[in-house]
Amino acid sequence: MKIGAKLLSTYFLLIISIFLITSLTFHFIAQRYLIHETKQQLHKEASVVSQLLGKTVLSSLTVKEQLVNRKALALSERLLSSEMIIWSKNEEIIYTDLKDATLAEFRLDPKEKFVSETVAITSKNGKTKGYVTLVERLDEIKEINLLMRRSQLISLIISALIAVGLGVFFEKSLTRPIRRLTEHMKQFSLKGENKELELKSKDEVGELANSFHALSHRLKKYDEDQKVFFQNASHELKTPLMAIQGNAEGILDGVVKGEEVNASLNVIIAESQRLKRIVEGITYLAKLESVEESFVFRGESLDKIIGEAVESVRALAEQRGIELEVDSCVMEPVLLDREKMKRAFINLLGNAIRYSKFKVIVRSEMLKDDTGISVEVSDDGKGFANGEVTKVFQRFYSGDAGGSGIGLAITKAIIEGHGGTISAYNREQGGAVFRVYLRGVPS
Ligand SMILES: Nc1ncnc2c1ncn2[C@@H]1O[C@H](COP(=O)(O)OP(=O)(O)O)[C@@H](O)[C@H]1O
Ligand SMILES: [Mg+2]
């Protein structure tokens, strides 16, 4: 069942049940109320007549005379035309305007089909002279009740029509944008232009459309990134492969001879190793970014991990004559993936040693308000060229003396996998600084 149909049928059921409940209660209440009102009115009227007749002798002649003035008593305002019986003291009928048949019926059973009120007629000395009874047929009351119910029904039908009209209008204004959004979503494609859907509604449907736009932008961005990644990856893999192929062919064709053969073989080995590193780096990065490679967090102290990373690059630093200064305080254990975090710092230290002239400094500290840890890896090298700081973390970005350009992408993925951030900037006195900020305990 479509939303619109659901909405309308709910509406309809609501209207019908409201109608049934009100008309039922109305029926009973109105009937009772009308009978009660009639009785009061009859009593009032009968009292007036009794007062009128109290002054005269009770005989059919005098009664008739007196009752000519009945209209003058303003009884004509009554909606119902009541009829009258005047009784003598010993309950003989002196006067009545009831028809014979009706009278007989009334005398037989005054409760079944009639509403009546009887008031005694008393003379000045307080003696009862007779009685006056005013009679009203129940049918007439019911007729009035019916009349009221009919007008109630008409007003209900009119309001139901208005309500249904409004319902249809709301249904349209709700489902039309949903339908448009659905159409729009079906037509979405990763390739080619997608028009923005202009929805006027500022309600949940509008929100849904906005979310969809945001989602489609993210999807396109992801698709774009993926393409760039494949282009770059194949380029990076081709370069060493071409070198390997060229050298191997040179040897095979006899172009490369004698002493040169060894040099060529060394190139082949070096390029093969580079190739291996790139492939390993790409797969590692892909794993980091996929869901399967979950981080294994344990309580570890970061200064120990930094110490280990420094030890693994010490040989490289000595080889290049670079001094390594570690300024790390003992820190509380935080939740870390030991292997990954070590790899992140080895990457930073490796770059720093490669670019520095004399000295690389690693400095870590707990933040003053205890909200996390900051680690800085700085060198005294050439630093970053203009605009480079925004690019260095991109996959396959490498500068002049760079390698495959995947190291910092891996480092960033690891730090962010720990809920932390990494940023790069130039030192005032020259050289590069990488600043890692860790929140301590990632969720
Ligand atoms: N300490 C540094 N000083 C200056 N430039 C750096 C430093 N570290 C990284 N870079 C720049 O960032 C680029 C990317 O680094 P990275 O992702 O580690 O790849 P790679 O080391 O393979 O070139 C480097 O090629 C270099 O241009
Ligand atoms: Mg590197």
Residue among 390, 398, 412 to mutate when testing ligand 1 (max atoms within 8 A of CB) = 398
For 338-371, the pLDDT digits (tens) are: 999 999 999 999 999 999 999 999 999 988 777 7
Q: How confident is the model at residue 442 (pLDDT cuts 50, 70, 90)?
A: very low
Cα-to-centroid distance, 155 and ligand 2 (Å): 82
Cα-to-centroid distance, 440 and ligand 1 (Å): 27
Indicate whether 72 pLDDT > 70: no
User: What is residue 278's predicted lDDT score, i.e. its pLDDT?
Assistant: 92
User: What is residue 226's predicted lDDT score, i.e. its pLDDT?
Assistant: 86
User: What is residue 56's predicted lDDT score, i.e. its pLDDT?
Assistant: 79
Q: How confident is the model at residue 188 (pLDDT cuts 50, 70, 90)?
A: confident
> For ligand 1, which residues put their CB under 6 angstroms from it?
347, 351-352, 355, 379, 381, 383-384, 392, 397-399, 402-409, 432
- Measured between alpha carbons, how far is 374 from 365 in angstroms, rounded to an integer? 6
Q: How confident is the model at residue 409 (pLDDT cuts 50, 70, 90)?
A: very high
Query: Tokens 């709700």, residue?
Result: 174
Q: For ligand 1, atom 27, which residue shows the shortest CA distance?
A: 399
For 367-385, the pLDDT digits (tens) are: 877 778 999 999 999 999 9
Span 267-273, average pLDDT: 95
- Measured between alpha carbons, how far is 87 from 106 in angstroms, rounded to an integer? 14
- Measured between alpha carbons, how far is 383 from 210 in angstroms, rounded to an integer? 42
For 214-252, the pLDDT digits (tens) are: 999 999 988 988 888 888 889 889 999 999 999 999 999
Cα-to-centroid distance, 408 and ligand 2 (Å): 6
Span 24-45, average pLDDT: 86
CATH class of 298-438: alpha beta
134 close to 121: Cβ distance less than 8 angstroms: no
User: What is residue 79's predicted lDDT score, i.e. its pLDDT?
Assistant: 42
Cα-to-centroid distance, 428 and ligand 2 (Å): 22
Question: Which atom of ligand 1 is least distant from the CA of 409?
Answer: 17
User: What is residue 68's predicted lDDT score, i.e. its pLDDT?
Assistant: 67
What share of the chain has pLDDT > 70, as a percent?
95
Cα-to-centroid distance, 403 and ligand 2 (Å): 7
Cα-to-centroid distance, 164 and ligand 1 (Å): 69
For 281-321, the pLDDT digits (tens) are: 999 988 888 766 678 899 988 999 999 999 999 999 999 99
Q: For ligand 1, atom 23, which residue shows the shortest CA distance?
A: 402
320 close to 352: Cβ distance less than 8 angstroms: no
Q: How confident is the model at residue 89 (pLDDT cuts 50, 70, 90)?
A: confident
> CATH number of the domain at 204-289, please?
1.10.287.130
Question: Which atom of ligand 1 is least distant from the CA of 400?
Answer: 27
Q: How confident is the model at residue 414 (pLDDT cuts 50, 70, 90)?
A: very high
User: What is residue 73's predicted lDDT score, i.e. its pLDDT?
Assistant: 55
Cα-to-centroid distance, 76 and ligand 2 (Å): 110
Span 164-178, average pLDDT: 84
- Residue 72 gets which letter from DSSP? G
Question: Which atom of ligand 1 is least distant from the CA of 377?
Answer: 1
| CB count in 10 Å sphere of residue 160 | 18
Closest CA to 328 of 373, 304, 364, 302: 364
Domain chopping of the chain, boundaries: 3-154, 204-289, 298-438
Give yes or no on whether 3-154 and 298-438 have one common fold.
Answer: no
Residue among 316, 408, 433 to mutate when testing ligand 1 (max atoms within 8 A of CB) = 408
Classify domain 3-154 at the CATH topology level.
Beta-Lactamase (3.30.450)
355, burial (CB in 10 Å: exposed 0-12, middle 13-18, buried 19+):
buried
Average pLDDT, the chain: 87
